Amino acid sequence: MKLNNFSARGTTVALRTADTAPTTAARIVPIAKGDDGLELPVTSLAPEGLLDALSSLGAKGGAGETLRLLIDGTVYLTTGLGNADDIDDEAVRRAYGVAARALGDIKEAAASCEFGTQAVVEGLLLGSYKYAGFKSENDNSPAIVTVVGADQDEFDRAVAVADSVNFSRDLVNTPAAFLYPEAYAGIVKDLAEEWKDEVDLTVEVISGDQLAQQGFGGIVAVGKGSKNGPQLVHVSYDGGGDKHIALVGKGITFDTGGISLKPSANMEDMISDMGGSAAQLGAIVAAAKLKLPVRVDAWLPMAENMPSGNATRPGDVITHYGGKTSEVLNTDAEGRLVLADAIARACEDNPNYLIEAATLTGAQLVALGARTTAVIGSDEFRDTVAEIGRGVGEPAWAMPLLEEQEEELKSPVADMRNVHNKRTGGTSFAGLYLSKFVPEDVEWVHLDIAGPAWNGGSPYGYVPARATGAPVRTIVETISRIAADQV
Ligand code: BES
Ligand code: MN
Ligand code: ZN
């Protein structure tokens, strides 16, 4: 099977379920900080005397703390949950994520499920993810972890979701020379074909002259500075039911800024500027694997934002899908231009919900830091999705649409301008711009993941360096709740 240029993938531990731990396997044992010192909240994999041994070693049970002990020929790897009173799913995911990364040369391990199959499995699969890229020497033969006492259905669902997060991470981690728009669209087509027994997805790609002919002026304008032409990828999944959800994700495979060129410092991080589209792909694959009873259509505009003799200029006016016009005053505010087309197209099919994700503004990082998604949209749905994000361990916070920015959006020569040239409220301004392409009767949410999509620092909890896979789990959980009539 030809996999285009998507040969470098991350690796994780391999999971299997069993009733008992193999005798030779290292035991992963969670420990916690109690009021009166160290606690062993679950004991199924712990030997007699472990607590005393740990105490004498000075173990505290704090989050992030791991220790290895050899007792009677068996290795025990302890991982801290933090305060015993505050143990929730997120603490468990983090502790098992940290443990998975601490396995090192341990090739066989066991974990038990007293704290919930889902949290343990997600922690292990998300935390162990390692992307070695194109290193010529790669000694990474992943460990096998036996999960003891798992609920099998919950195990299968957690694996489906975690695999989708890691798939999204793989796409985002892939350098732009391998993941340019045509290659990206090809990968989506090839994988849908390869996975067709497990997931029922339909893929349609609009590219070349078709884009201009069908009126996608925003996608054409952003893509035309590059030799690697833009693409609009449409992925659908129909699980029945009467709910229709549209997903839209920013797919800028590299963002130089275009003629409004970015400074060179950290420009390499702009390989992650397709993180919104990668998250939507992960989400629709998960929805299909979980056979959620909803109809989902993902619209993913892909373009490489490059400066060249054929690039869009500041001052140009473009016509979006559906006829609205934008004055492009800054070619680095390109995400909103491609999203406008994709949103307009997605809404033509009258979805009940629109979930859109994009690495859209540096202002998101200024407002909320690097890990918290900015959530803008219809009042109620926005708050629901922000809460869902916090619930699954993907921090998210609602941000307003600002009345005073209506004036700032006005252009003398077009329906709107793409930037307001102010230092204030950049994330909200981008949200207001996008809102003009969403019909009144669609429940809409925009997730600005400029910071959360990429971890430029060290791994923490179950989040690796580089691509994080955010906000796949937020979107999957939102789709699940809509399917279950809980939104
Ligand atoms: N892709 C960037 C946003 C971004 C910045 C993502 C940092 C991840 C990390 C986006 O296309 C962009 O360049 N936005 C501009 C908008 C400005 C010109 C109004 C920005 O935020 O500076
Ligand atoms: Mn940009
Ligand atoms: Zn961008």
pLDDT tens-digit series, residues 109-129:
999 999 999 999 999 999 999
In the set 60, 107, 130, 262, the catalytic residue is 262
Residue in 67, 46, 288, 293 with CA at minimum distance from that of residue 148: 46
Tell me which long-range contacts 221-224 makes (C-beta under 8 A, separation of at least 24).
221/312, 221/316, 221/318, 221/328, 221/337, 222/252, 222/258, 222/303, 222/305, 222/312, 222/331, 222/334, 222/337, 222/338, 223/181, 223/303, 223/304, 223/305, 223/338, 224/310, 224/311, 224/312
Tokens of 143: 């460990």
Whether the pLDDT of residue 3 is over 60: the answer is: no
- Residue 321 pLDDT: 99
How far, in Å, is the centroid of ligand 3 from the Cα of 198? 33
| Ligand 1 mutation target, pool 254, 271, 326, 332, most atoms within 8 A of CB | 332
How far apart (Å, rounded) are the C-alpha atoms in residues 83 and 288?
37
Whether the pLDDT of residue 278 is over 90: the answer is: yes
Ligand 1 atom closest to Cα of 252? Answer: 1
Region 59-87 average pLDDT: 97
Query: What is the DSSP code (8-state) at residue 312?
Result: P
Over the stretch 228-264, which tens digit does the pLDDT of each residue have? Answer: 999 999 999 999 999 999 999 999 999 999 999 999 9
Pocket (CB within 6 angstroms of ligand 1): 255, 273, 330, 332-335, 359-363, 419, 426, 450
How far apart (Å, rounded) are the C-alpha atoms in residues 29 and 260?
53
CB 297 within 8 A of CB 353: no
Decide if domain 10-150 falls under CATH 3.40.220.10: yes
How far apart (Å, rounded) are the C-alpha atoms in residues 427 and 104?
41
Which residue's CA lies nearest to atom 14 of ligand 1? Answer: 361
Hunting for tokens 């390499």 — which residue is that? 268
Residue 349 annotated as part of some ligand binding site: no
Residue 273 annotated as part of some ligand binding site: yes
How far apart (Å, rounded) are the C-alpha atoms in residues 449 and 293?
27
Q: Which fold has domain 160-484?
A: Aminopeptidase (3.40.630)
Amino acid at 305: N
How far, in Å, is the centroid of ligand 2 from the Cα of 169? 21
Whether the pLDDT of residue 2 is over 60: the answer is: no
Query: What is the DSSP code (8-state) at residue 11?
Result: B
Which residue's CA lies nearest to atom 13 of ligand 1? Answer: 332
- Is residue 27 part of the annotated active site? The answer reads no
How far, in Å, is the centroid of ligand 1 from the Cα of 362? 5
Region 294-319 average pLDDT: 99
**Cβ neighbour number for residue 4 with a 10 Å cutoff:** 17
Whether the pLDDT of residue 396 is over 50: the answer is: yes
Region 200-209 average pLDDT: 98
| Ligand 1 mutation target, pool 269, 361, 368, most atoms within 8 A of CB | 361
Report helix angle 472-483 to 152-173, nearest 10: 140
Q: Is the dihedral of CA 373, 452, 257, 279 positive or negative?
A: negative
| Ligand 1 mutation target, pool 253, 360, 434, most atoms within 8 A of CB | 360
- Residue 4 pLDDT: 57
**Across the strands, what pairs with 471?**
none
How far, in Å, is the centroid of ligand 2 from the Cα of 249? 15
How far apart (Å, rounded) are the C-alpha atoms in residues 346 and 159?
29
- Residue 137 pLDDT: 83
How far apart (Å, rounded) are the C-alpha atoms in residues 6 and 281?
15
Domain boundaries, the chain: 10-150, 160-484
Ligand 1 atom closest to Cα of 305? Answer: 11
- Residue 178 pLDDT: 96
Q: How many residues does the chain have?
A: 487
Tokens of 151: 């609920």
Ligand 1 atom closest to Cα of 363? Answer: 21
Whether the pLDDT of residue 397 is over 70: the answer is: yes
Over the stretch 76-99, which tens digit does the pLDDT of each residue have? Answer: 999 999 999 999 999 999 999 999
What Rg, from alpha-carbon coordinates, does the chain have? 23
Which residue's CA lies nearest to atom 5 of ligand 1? Answer: 362
CA-to-CA separations, 448 to 19, 268, 355, 360, 397, in angstroms, rounded = 43, 19, 11, 6, 10
Q: What percent of the chain has pLDDT over 70?
A: 99
Ligand 1 atom closest to Cα of 255? Answer: 1
Residue 334 annotated as part of some ligand binding site: yes
Which residue's CA lies nearest to atom 17 of ligand 1? Answer: 333
Amino acid at 457: G
Residue 291 annotated as part of some ligand binding site: no
Burial code (b: 16+ CB inside 10 Å, e: under 16) for 217-254 equals bbbbbbbbbbebbbbbbbbbbebeeebbbbbbbbbbbb
Contact partners, residue 184, CB within 8 Å, separation at least 6 = 171, 231, 233, 251, 253, 274, 277, 302
Widest pairwise Cα distance in the chain:
79
- Residue 139 pLDDT: 72
In the set 93, 289, 324, 336, the catalytic residue is 336
CA dihedral 404, 410, 416, 422 (to 10 degrees): -60
How far apart (Å, rounded) are the C-alpha atoms in residues 329 and 324?
16
Over the stretch 327-380, which tens digit does the pLDDT of each residue have? Answer: 999 999 999 999 999 999 999 999 999 999 999 999 999 999 999 999 999 999
**Across the strands, what pairs with 244?**
295
Report helix angle 275-289 to 472-483, nearest 10: 40
Pairing of strands 373-377, 295-305: unpaired
Region 127-133 average pLDDT: 96
Helix (H, G, I), strand (E, B) or coil at 317: strand
How far, in Å, is the centroid of ligand 1 from the Cα of 10? 27
- Band (464; pLDDT cuts 50, 70, 90): very high
Residue 170 annotated as part of some ligand binding site: no
Which parts of 306-415 are beta strand (E)?
Answer: 317-319, 325-327, 353-358, 373-377, 396-398
How far apart (Å, rounded) are the C-alpha atoms in residues 343 and 249?
9
Element (H, E) at 78: strand 74-83
- Is residue 336 part of the annotated active site? The answer reads yes
How far, in Å, is the centroid of ligand 3 from the Cα of 372? 18
- Residue 223 pLDDT: 99
Over the stretch 136-167, which tens digit does the pLDDT of each residue have? Answer: 887 778 899 999 999 999 999 999 999 999 99
486 CA to centre of own chain: 23
- Residue 1 pLDDT: 42
Ligand 1 atom closest to Cα of 335? Answer: 11
358 CA to centre of own chain: 10
Region 20-42 average pLDDT: 97
Pairing of strands 202-207, 108-112: unpaired
The DSSP line for 417-467 is ES----SS-HHHHHHHHHHTTS-TTSEEEEEE-TTTTEE-S--BTTBPSEE
Tokens of 312: 């869009």
How far apart (Å, rounded) are the C-alpha atoms in residues 356 and 203?
19
